[in-house]
Amino acid sequence: DAKTTQPPSMDCAEGRAANLPCNHSTISGNEYVYWYRQIHSQGPQYIIHGLKNNETNEMASLIITEDRKSSTLILPHATLRDTAVYYCIVRGREYGNKLVFGAGTILRVKS
Amino acid sequence: GAVVSQHPSRVICKSGTSVKIECRSLDFQATTMFWYRQFPKKSLMLMATSNEGSKATYEQGVEKDKFLINHASLTLSTLTVTSAHPEDSSFYICSARRAGRTSLWEQYFGPGTRLTVT
């Protein structure tokens, strides 16, 4: 399984874009990049996933570099409710695969 | 849709007793459910995978006789912590994969259960 590296913590001003990086230099061709977040004392919440194209949904955008060795999750207008731990996970989509969480990035959105 | 509930949300039990945690998929059927535990300020650790109607598969280092998992129906999985000790105090989270779906992201998490063993 490809290993991911994320900064332990980041701060972001309310209303500004939050850009959360993730390095996954050993990613293989059939592995997707998944992002989840966990607000304090809650279960994780799915945000977005992608293979090689950039993706956008109502929550966030995912930018994957052309060589797929890194990606960035973008929250376009961060709010205080976006304060959470953000997890970048790289896994193949085969049925037997399981979500395995690393340390993640603590994002603190400040007013 | 895709709501997963856990019951109870918090439980306090005495050392040596057993406690059962329920995980339910409310609006979908789940052939596979997962159980995680999370210590304070730590990441989630996958404990086991349960498939409806069959025995659970435990991750390395997880005691299957201590953490009994039952997945008797397509909407319910239970985790029983037997002979609980203070070191079992943790946040237990389940997730459920929608039946017939194979995509990893189609896995929905419950809100978690805070277990405190005194």
- Which tens digit of pLDDT belongs to each residue from A33-58? 999 999 998 999 999 999 999 999 99
Q: How far B36 CA lies from chain A's nearest CA (Å)?
A: 10
Phi, psi of A81 (to 5 degrees): -75, -10
Q: Is B80 exposed, middle or buried (0-12, 13-18, 19+ CB in 10 A)?
A: middle
Q: Band of the pLDDT at A96, cuts 50, 70, 90? A: low
How much is the pLDDT for A4?
94
Q: Which residues of B touch A (CB under 8 A)?
A: 4, 6, 34, 36, 43-46, 49, 91, 93, 95, 102-105, 107-112, 114
pLDDT at B70 over 80: yes
Residue range B80-101: average pLDDT? 93
Taking the C-alpha atoms of residue A23 and residue A31, their distance in angstroms, rounded to an integer, is 14
Q: Band of the pLDDT at B106, cuts 50, 70, 90? A: confident
Residue range A70-95: average pLDDT? 92
**Residue carrying structure tokens 């040596």:** B16
- Mean of all residue pLDDT scores within chain B: 93
CA dist list (Å): B105 to A12, A46, A100, B27, B98: 27, 7, 12, 17, 10
pLDDT at A9 over 80: yes
